[in-house]
Amino acid sequence: MSAGNGFFSVEDLRLHFRTARGPVQAVDGVSFTLDRGRALVVVGESGCGKSSLARAILRLLPRNVHAYSGSVRLNGMDVMRLPEEQFRREIRWTRLALVPQGAMNSLNPVIRVGDQAAEPLLIHGRAGSPAAARQSVQEVFHEVGVPRDFLDRYPFELSGGMRQRVALATALVTKPDLIVLDEPTSALDVLTQAGIMNLLKTIKRETRTNFVLITHDIAAASEIADDAAVMYAGQLVETSRAEQFYREPLHPYSRALMASVPTLRAEKTLEFIPGRPPSLINPPPGCRFADRCPYRFDKCSEEPPMLKVDNRLVKCWLYR
């Protein structure tokens, strides 16, 4: 993960939702930078704000937005500053695309999958005719392992793994610069998960497409990760190269996450993280992990900054 101005960067991104009990601070000051041709994996517990981060990047916002600010830069251009119509026409789906969580829910059940995959090409003028769009879809379907005769099938006629491949093909068809994948292997069996991750590795290697992979499956994420970011209670608490993160995580929460993951090559006693994450409506002052942290001390009552340790960043007073 670059410390400079990379190909794609997010700075102080915030997305808060309005509720009857008060604003939910789903994404609260998130910053990271990604170099071209690399994949960033964002890991964390359910409810920590990972999916909200994906929607904040793509500006897919619900009606109850309380606050939305920060910058999202693509090749140096802050796309957050673009008017919504210009962002929709020039950025969303053509340069930034999303594979949403739950492929079945993202596909229209009464439209053939080939027509759905061709829609971004036709809407954004990337194909001269419906026939040309269909030809492009056939090529992308072949790349992701979907048989050609599946173009005329409906989503309910496909398996979960095939629906996930169709969702990925729909994101790839316009050849975007970056694809955000929100839990792409959730609800899939182990073999299908492995197939999807191998497919993503092949696409990244052959097309140099950037990925931001959002997941709670730390083990599966290791297959594609170049960089890793750990999210907790709406904030990133650690960012580093993936090989450093998997070998030696720094933040106490990161260590606890890794301690809960089984390994194939060594026996270890799996651990769990005591307690529960704080409410994002009224998060505690200071470090948000403090109440669950075995290393807590007096300084943890203050908000920790992102501290640089070698070429890594960690939000913890232990590294002051």
pLDDT in tens, the chain (320 residues): 644 457 999 999 999 999 999 999 999 999 999 999 899 999 999 889 999 999 999 999 999 999 999 999 999 999 999 999 999 999 999 999 999 887 767 899 999 999 999 999 999 988 889 999 999 999 999 999 999 899 999 999 999 889 999 999 999 999 999 999 998 888 788 888 888 888 899 988 888 889 999 998 888 888 899 999 999 999 999 999 999 999 999 999 999 999 988 776 777 788 889 899 999 999 999 999 999 999 999 999 999 999 999 999 999 999 98
**Co-location of 87 and 119 in the same domain:** no
Q: Is 2 among the domain residues?
A: no
Entry pTM: 0.92
Domain that holds residue 146: 96-175
**Co-location of 72 and 196 in the same domain:** yes
- Which residue, 175, 204, 225, sits at the end of a domain? 175
Q: Is 3 among the domain residues?
A: no
**In 10 A of CB 120, how many CB atoms?**
22
> Domain holding 197: CATH number?
3.40.50.300
**Co-location of 170 and 193 in the same domain:** no
Number of structural domains in the chain? 2
Q: Is 65 among the domain residues?
A: yes
**Co-location of 129 and 45 in the same domain:** no
- Which residue, 153, 175, 197, sits at the end of a domain? 175
Q: Is 1 among the domain residues?
A: no
**Co-location of 188 and 284 in the same domain:** yes
**Which residues, 6+ apart, have CB-to-CB distance to 312 below 8 Å?**
238, 239, 240, 241, 244, 250
**Co-location of 202 and 302 in the same domain:** yes
Q: What span, in angstroms and rounded, lies between the C-alpha atoms of 108 and 90?
A: 24
Q: Which CA distances in Å does 91 have to 87, 170, 186, 230, 261?
A: 5, 15, 27, 27, 37
**Co-location of 169 and 239 in the same domain:** no
**Co-location of 183 and 168 in the same domain:** no
**Co-location of 209 and 306 in the same domain:** yes
- Which residue, 142, 175, 208, sits at the end of a domain? 175
**Co-location of 162 and 194 in the same domain:** no
Q: Give the per-residue pLDDT at 5.
A: 57
Q: Is 62 among the domain residues?
A: yes
**Co-location of 131 and 222 in the same domain:** no
Q: Is 277 among the domain residues?
A: yes
Q: Give the per-residue pLDDT at 127.
A: 82
Classify each residue of 137-162 as buried b or exposed e, where b means 16 or more C-beta atoms within 10 Å of its C-beta: bbebbebbbbeeebbebebeebebbb
Q: Is 48 among the domain residues?
A: yes
Q: Is 319 among the domain residues?
A: no
**Co-location of 127 and 235 in the same domain:** no
Q: Give the per-residue pLDDT at 1.
A: 61
